[in-house]
Every structure is written in C-alpha cells, then in structure tokens.
Amino acid sequence: MQNEEIGSSQSLSRLRQELRRLLADLERSLEVVFGRTPLIKGTVYEMARKCGKPTCACTRGQLHKSLVLSWSHQGKTRLKAIPPEKLAKVRRKSEEYARFRRGRAQISVINKQMLEVIDHIEALRREEP
Ligand SMILES: [Zn+2]
C-alpha cells in the first residue's frame, strides 16, 4: 500500500466509526418517535390573575389561580383552561410532545452530520474514472 492509501484508510476507519456513533445517536433520538402515547402541543402552567371585580379578594393580592395549557398557533399564543381531573394526563402528553420535538431537532442535526461524513467518505473512496 502506498503512504497516501494508508493515510486515507486510517481516515476512512475514523469516518466509519463516526458514522456508527451517529447511527447509534440517531436510534436513540428516534425512540421518542416510535412511542405510541398521544402528544399535546403546549406548556402547562399556573396562571394567577385578577377578575376585575372591585370588591374581590384578588384586589388584595389573593389572585385567582387556574391551570392552563399555552401553545402557539400561527404566531399567536393560545390558552386553554385545564380541568383539575385532566391535569396529570395533559401534563404528561405535553411533556411527551416537548420530548418529541427535541428528538426531531436532534435528528435534524444528526442527519446533517451523517451527510457530511458520508460525503467525506465518498471523497476519500472515489477514484478518477
Ligand atoms: Zn377576583
């Protein structure tokens, strides 16, 4: 083997390792996509507000508290009250949605990285016709 070929085979070996590592990352990131639980877009939080009645306790700092789901739709923030009996389920599904979106973002990054490695491998393996 010529020196140049030895050098490129070491690079190829590193690139193959890198590609396998990315593939393992990809599989991990895809786990959430293969899940079966429903997803709810939005964040659950407690909203505290005044109702506007001049004699209400909320004017003295005892704000009305309610749990809401907040999400953005076509650039606007939407709110929906969550009945207490649905809180646990809504919270779980909204957390799962956040995990799903994080997974999707990771997959997008990994995808780009894989293509870079693949192009690099191609450049090293390619010979003149
Ligand atoms: Zn009030």
Distance from the CA of 81 to the center of ligand 1, in angstroms?
Answer: 17
Distance from the CA of 42 to the center of ligand 1, in angstroms?
Answer: 26
| Token pair for 26 | 């990809």
Q: What is the pLDDT of residue 58?
A: 93
Establish how many alpha carbons lie within 13 A of residue 9's alpha carbon, considering only the half-sphere containing its beta carbon: 6
The sign of the CA dihedral 45, 46, 52, 53 is positive
58 vs 10: CA distance, rounded Å = 71
| pLDDT tens-place string over residues 24-50 | 999 999 999 999 999 999 999 999 999
| pLDDT tens-place string over residues 54-79 | 999 999 999 999 999 999 999 999 99
67 vs 80: CA distance, rounded Å = 9
Please name the residue that has the structure tokens 């083997």. Answer: 1
Taking the whole predicted model, whether its pTM rises above 0.85 is answered as no
| Token pair for 74 | 């076509």
Position 120 confidence tier, pLDDT thresholds 50, 70, 90: very high
Q: What is the pLDDT of residue 87?
A: 95
Distance from the CA of 64 to the center of ligand 1, in angstroms?
Answer: 6
Q: What is the pLDDT of residue 9?
A: 81
If we measure between CA atoms, which residue out of 120, 107, 104 comes closest to residue 19?
120
26 vs 21: CA distance, rounded Å = 9
